[in-house]
Amino acid sequence: MLKTMGGVMEPPDVFDFEVSDVTGTHSVSATGVQRALRTREVADSLARTMALPKSVPWALRDESTSAFLDDEKPIGDQLRPGAKVTLTPKTHLG
Amino acid sequence: MTRVLRPTQPRWCVPLGPTPVNGRKRERTESESDFVDPLFTRNDGWLTMHAAVSGDPLAGQLGRPGLWRIVSGRNGQAMQRVFELPPLADFDEEGELTAEDVLAECKAWALSTAMGRIADGWQPPSRQEVESGIPSGGLSLRAETEARQISLIHEANRLALVCPILPRIPAELPPARREWLRALLTDGQDRWRMVRIGLTETSAIAEVDFSGVPPAIGECVFRTGLGALRWVVAWLVESAAFLAEPSVTCSALEVCPARG
């Protein structure tokens, strides 16, 4: 939580991680991401940063565990600093 | 006749200059005439209290109680502190408070918070009640490539909404770019009501503080303030992120912006 008091502000709680698209062709460094941000918002903003289609819902997958991150939970609760994630379209096969 | 007051649709843009009168006496509506106080000026339905100030318009404001914020001055106006209340022009005849009662509470709120104090015994509504006034997803905002999370500060003596515009400003950002960033944030603070901005070496933060707000108008002022904060941050964040990105090179930004 971001706090300010008496004219002073605490630095926001942020962290950095690496993001690549599902093909591994393009990658960006997500820096200064608020840990409290909902994962859905982070995924959508990263998709725009990487010029990916806006009409597609996007999800993040932690490469270390292959697990998809929960859209509704804060991203800081699901990733450690320096993590590598893949931005993946939410598609269902079969 | 008793009335309950609710703000009208908020409009956050600050007029560029004083409301022209041109010698024409503007006919007052019944609701406007109930909100006359020599300490407040009325503009576009908003009630504003003014106070003199000097110093850095982006320093020393955050975390202080109430809606006071610094505007650096537009069109040759002097720097000043302002306390801005959204329009309170709708009346419900079945309410319990008169317009005079509410105006008196608003004035007391403004005057006490101008001194850095809130009314003795003031407490915010319960966290549940406050959160019930926040729409789903209302504390998350996204402006294209930038996403931000608003923090709800709910403590014994404080109620506020705080949001980073820039959670982290790179240490290697050149001085000229920092000046452009300062100019952008100062302009944003001048241009839009209710939201105040703080800038340090490492981050830029926006907030609206409701500490001490009279209960009669608390819900409405909170909702207006949340909307204003979302608006201002969304308006500023992409430009601020562009200016704060060290890998961006632009010869025009290597020259400090003109001041004044």
For B168-218, give the DSSP string: ---TT--HHHHHHHHHHHHHHHHHBSS-EEEE-SS-EEEEEE-TT--HHHH
Is B162 within 8 Å of A4 when comparing Cβ atoms?
yes
> Is the model's pLDDT at B181 over the cut of 80?
yes
Q: What is the mean pLDDT of residues B49-62?
A: 90
Distance from CA of B2 to the nearest CA of A (A): 38
d(CA B27, CA B36): 14
Q: Which residue has the tokens 């703000």?
A: B7
Please list, in sequence order, all residues whose beta carbon lies within 8 angstroms of the beta carbon of residue B112, skipping any fewer than 6 positions away. B66, B118, B119, B212
Interface residue of B53, B117, B139, B145 to substitute, partner A, most A CBs within 10 Å: B145
Query: Is residue B146 pLDDT above 70, yes or no?
Result: yes
Q: Do B149 and A48 touch (CB under 8 A)?
A: no
pLDDT, residue B259, reads: 63
Q: Among B6-10, B48-52, B123-127, which stretch is predicted with the lowest mean pLDDT?
A: B6-10
Q: Which helix (H) or strand (E) holds B60?
A: none
> Of residues A6 and B61, which shows the higher confidence score?
B61
Q: What is the pLDDT of residue B95?
A: 61
- CA B180 to centroid of chain Cα atoms: 22
Q: Is the pLDDT of residue A4 over 70?
A: no
Contact flag B202-A11 (C-beta cutoff 8 Å): yes
- Residue A18 pLDDT class (50, 70, 90 cuts): very high
The CA distance from B20 to A27, in Å, is 54
Res. B20: pLDDT tops 50: no
Average pLDDT of chain B is 83
Between chains, do A4 and B160 touch, taking CB under 8 Å as contact?
A: yes
- Contact residues on chain A for B137, CB-CB shorter than 8 A: 38
Q: Which residue has the tokens 């706090």?
A: A3
Residue B147 β-bridge partners: B142
Among A70-79, B4-13, B88-97, the least confident range: B4-13
A45/B147 touch (CB, cutoff 8 Å), yes or no: yes
Share of chain B above pLDDT 70, in %: 81
The pTM score is 0.84
Report the phi/psi class of residue B202: left, alpha or beta, with left for phi > 0 and alpha for psi in -120 to 50.
Answer: alpha
B200 → closest Cβ in A9, A32, A34: A9
Q: Which amino acid is at B146?
A: E
